[in-house]
């Protein structure tokens, strides 16, 4: 027969696991409020990030082999550092294709939590996991095109699907909106940069599209439809969009994301 202390400890850890699995915004806060200080630490940005990792891996077999280092201290080793793809610094949030590793720094987590809340933490993890799915499925379109914007918008779309389908509870409209607002906030207008991630409007529209559809094929990210096949079959379409960026990209995505649907 278990002692009361042992039983209580196991019950506490069971509640901790439940909170980790649910690990989003108000759900996390509600769980944390009733737990001991040690267990309540899982309501931190790190706890939400780890819960999001667990949920997405449970939902998507293609990303189960990805290592997520959170929090990743400055100087954390990854294969991308050798290729000058990542600085592994204070502001790290990066998927490395060479060793299938995601690094997210504590400083980055803290800033995002303060400014945008727990939904943004979950969305950040979902976006980086989306890059892992892209890599596992077809590789990156930026390897064939001059810009990373296509990969980034597709990852935002996939993140929307993850946020809709990977969680065991339905997000409230406010939670989904805050996820979208986070991606909009980190959009940019650096059209001439290879690492351009898309305008705020484009990123928000891509997330909305994935979240509304709730299906990876809607993001051209399933085994049936994917970026590589699109590029192989219609290179002129991609070239045309690039040639007329940013006006066409912005206009198309502001009109129900016709860009993602028409490629």
> Nearest to residue 45, comparing CAs of 113, 105, 92, 114?
113
- Structure-token match 């914007």, residue found: 149
| Angstrom distance (rounded) from CA 248 to CA 219 | 19
- The mean predicted confidence, pLDDT, of the chain is 74
Highest mean pLDDT among 5-9, 50-54, 94-98, 235-239: 50-54
| Angstrom distance (rounded) from CA 105 to CA 120 | 14
Sorted by where each begins, the domain ranges of the chain are 1-43, 44-262
- pLDDT, tens only, 144-197: 666 788 889 999 999 999 999 998 888 899 999 999 999 999 998 887 777 888
The encoded tokens of residue 30 equal 């509600």
Q: Which residue has the higher pLDDT, 175 or 249?
A: 175
Q: Which residue has the higher pLDDT, 60 or 190?
A: 60
The reported pTM is 0.74
The confidence band for 252, taking pLDDT boundaries of 50, 70 and 90, is very low
CB atoms closer than 10 angstroms to residue 141: 24
Query: For position 91, what pLDDT does the model report?
Result: 62
**Residues present in the chain in total:** 263
> Nearest to residue 97, comparing CAs of 60, 140, 59, 54?
140
């Amino acid at each position: 027969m278990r002692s009361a202390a042992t039983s209580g400890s196991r019950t506490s850890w069971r509640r901790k696991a439940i909170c980790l699995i649910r690990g989003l915004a108000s759900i996390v806060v509600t769980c944390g409020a009733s737990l001991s200080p040690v267990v309540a630490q899982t309501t931190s940005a790190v706890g939400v990030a780890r819960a999001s990792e667990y949920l997405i891996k449970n939902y998507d077999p293609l990303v189960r082999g990805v290592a997520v280092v959170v929090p990743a201290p400055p100087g954390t080793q990854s294969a991308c550092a050798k290729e000058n793809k990542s600085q592994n610094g204070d502001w790290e949030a990066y998927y490395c294709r060479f060793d299938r590793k995601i690094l997210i720094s504590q400083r980055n987590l803290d800033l995002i939590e303060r400014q945008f809340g727990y939904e943004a933490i979950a969305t950040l993890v979902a976006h980086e996991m989306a890059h892992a799915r892209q890599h596992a499925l077809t590789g990156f379109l930026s390897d064939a095109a001059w810009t990373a914007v296509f990969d980034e918008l597709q990852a935002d779309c996939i993140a929307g699907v993850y946020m809709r389908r990977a969680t065991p509870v339905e997000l409230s409209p406010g939670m989904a909106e805050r996820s979208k607002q986070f991606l909009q906030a980190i959009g940019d207008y650096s059209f001439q940069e290879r690492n351009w991630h898309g305008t705020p409007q484009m990123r928000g529209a891509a997330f909305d599209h994935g979240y509304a559809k709730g299906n990876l094929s809607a993001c051209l990210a399933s085994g049936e439809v994917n970026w590589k096949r699109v590029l192989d079959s219609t290179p002129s379409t991609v070239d045309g969009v690039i040639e007329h960026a940013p006006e066409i990209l912005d206009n198309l995505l502001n009109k129900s994301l016709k860009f993602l649907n028409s490629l």
